[in-house]
Structure 1
Amino acid sequence: MTLTHPDTTVTAREAFGLDTDLVVPSFNEPDEHVPDIDADYRFNPDVTRALLAGFTRNRRVLVQGLHGTGKSTHIEQVAARLNWPCVRINLDGHISRLDLVGRDAVVVREGQQVTEFQEGVIPWAMQRPVALVLDEYDAGRPDVMFVLQRLLERDGKLTLTDQNRVLAPHPSFRLFATANTVGLGNLNGLYHGAQRLNHAQIDRWNIVAALNHLPADDEIAIVQARVPHLRDQAGRDLVSSMVAVADLTRRAFRVGDLSVLMSPRTVISWAENVEVFGDTALAFRLSFLNKCDEAERPLIAEYFQRCLDHELDESATELDTAA
């Protein structure tokens, strides 16, 4: 990294379309850790404000929301427009304290095997102008998560007990996290592996932003941008119906009628598979319906019929069984 501090600024109005005069520090040139800009990405105004507060004021920001809402991508796309180096790590159940902090390792120096300390991702990132994103924060093991306890405090220092060192964070180090829950565990059975987190640690996050699904018009625009063969008016009409199906599954999920929902990611896959198979119903089945519980498929088929005026086999099967 050639630059250690932001050397320019951008306005939130120009870079993110926000109705504000906020000026955000940024880097003039990207390096290898800066994400690629997705010109078609649509920013959620409230979440973007929260993330910009994280970059501008060094606030710790936790983004919470259902799967497929684009939590990690949102952080990456903000970093991309600021040319801010960004590193993501997934806190799955196999991540240990040694992975995060570091460990002794045997290396070869001048033909001799020696033991030396190799930094984990947290010490590496916090000594550099890097935005560290802890993905699936609520999937990390509770005993491992205590490594982050002091890092979330105001001074943000990290103690390396094996090295008898205390690391102070780089002035341009930033910390973010994404989670499906807010540390309450797998309450509805949807997110297996989600852990109950220590409330004292959750309380240390300065900002908790909730990211929900996009408005229908924005989601339609994103799907059309991702799938070029649907960019004409007929394609927009089809995508509009597909997004309507997705919205019905999300409403049913909220009230407990369904145990699954269609994420924007799934809608994009469905649209792409329409081109692959040349059949909207088959693409829907292969992209989403086959992932669902058999008992719930008739209801989903009803949503499909309602929005696309086409009967799926699941509806007929259910009616025959009932008769």
Structure 2
Amino acid sequence: MRELTPTTTVSAREAFGIDTDLMVPAFEQAEEHVPEVDPAYLFDHDTTLALLAGFARNRRVLVQGLHGTGKSTHVEQVAARLRWPCVRVNLDGHLTRLDLIGRDTVVVEEGRQVTRFVEGIVPWSLQRPVALLLDEYDAGRPDVMFVLQRLLERDGKLTLMDQSTVLRPHPAFRMFATSNTVGLGDTLGLYHGANRLNHAQLDRWNIVTTLDYLEPDREVAIVTARVPELADRGDLVRRMVEVAALTRRGFAAGDISALMSPRTVITWAENIAIFGDIATAFRLTFVNKCAQDERELVAEYYQRCFDDELATPAARPA
């Protein structure tokens, strides 16, 4: 990495379109670990402010929200505009403490087998100007979570007991996480594998922000920007977003067990461009993911927004 610390500043108003005078440290040049800028990305005001505070003041920031709201992408897009290197780690149930910290590995040097300690992603990131993004934070195993707890302290030192070494964080090291729950486990029945978080650990996150689904106009703008084939069909996209909103209300009311995220709407739009038929694309994108006894209600959502029946393949004439 060429630059060890940020050497310039970025205006939050100019770079992110939010009403604030905040100036945030940034790097002048992008290197390989900097995410690519998505010019069509729309930033949420509160979440953006929280993340910028994390970068500017070295605050640990946890972004919570339902799936498909763009939590991880939000962190990456802030990092991209600051040209801040960002490493994303998914805390699935198979990630172990050794994967994070490192392990002794047998390597061949000068024709001989020798044992060398190969550091994991956490000590590697800790010693560099990197924003470490812990994805699916509430799905991490307990032994992994206690490794991370020490990093949430103010000094954030990491002890490698096998190496008798204490690592101090780089001045430009930052730490973020995303989660589908607020540390109470899977109370919605949506996220199998989500764990209850140790409250002492949850309390160590300096800032917790919630990212919700977008306002309809903003969601329409994102879908049309993502799928240029529908850029001149704003009324169609608006109806699609209305269907998605009905599924979210139905899910909140307990009527259906699945909902359409903005990601699902974008996929539906892409499939319309592929199949050339709105109803077919809808069935293949979302309806077939729903429980059998819920599909009639989902078809009603479609009919209300498009004023057309969602015929199944079996109901279509041969």
Mapping for residues 266-305 of structure 1, pairs under 5 Å: 266-305=264-303
Match of 2:306 among 284, 288, 308: 308
SS in 2 for 1:175: strand
Runs (5+) with no aligned partner, structure 2: none
- TM-score for the superposition, normalised by structure 1: 0.96
SS in 1 for 2:163: coil
Tell me how far apart the structure 2 counterparts of residues 113 and 248 of structure 1 sit (CA, whole Å). Answer: 62
Mapping for residues 83-232 of structure 1, pairs under 5 Å: 83-232=83-232
Runs (5+) with no aligned partner, structure 1: 318-323
SS in 1 for 2:171: coil
Q: Give aligned pairs, total.
A: 314
Runs of 4+ in structure 1 over 6 Å off: none
Letter in 1 for 2:140: G
Tell me how far apart the structure 2 counterparts of residues 137 and 85 of structure 1 sit (CA, whole Å). Answer: 20
SS in 1 for 2:159: strand
Tell me how far apart the structure 2 counterparts of residues 104 and 32 of structure 1 sit (CA, whole Å). Answer: 27
1:321 aligned partner: none
TM-superposed deviation, 1:196? 1.1
Alignment pair present for 1:240 and 2:258: no
Alignment pair present for 1:25 and 2:31: no
Task: For residues 83-106 of structure 1, give each alpha carbon's deviation from its aligned partner in whole angstroms, at most 9, with x where no partner exists.
Answer: 000000100000000000010000
SS in 1 for 2:247: helix
1:265 aligned partner: 263
Alignment pair present for 1:53 and 2:66: no
Tell me how far apart the structure 2 counterparts of residues 201 and 303 of structure 1 sit (CA, whole Å). Answer: 42
CA RMSD of superposed structures (Å): 1.1
Kept in 2, the 8 Å contact 1:142–1:196? The answer is: no
TM-superposed deviation, 1:188? 2.0
- TM-score for the superposition, normalised by structure 2: 0.97
TM-superposed deviation, 1:143? 2.3
Percent identical pairs in the alignment equals 71
Task: For residues 264-319 of structure 1, give each alpha carbon's deviation from its aligned partner in whole angstroms, at most 9, with x where no partner exists.
Answer: 111011011111111100000000000000111111111100001111136x99xx
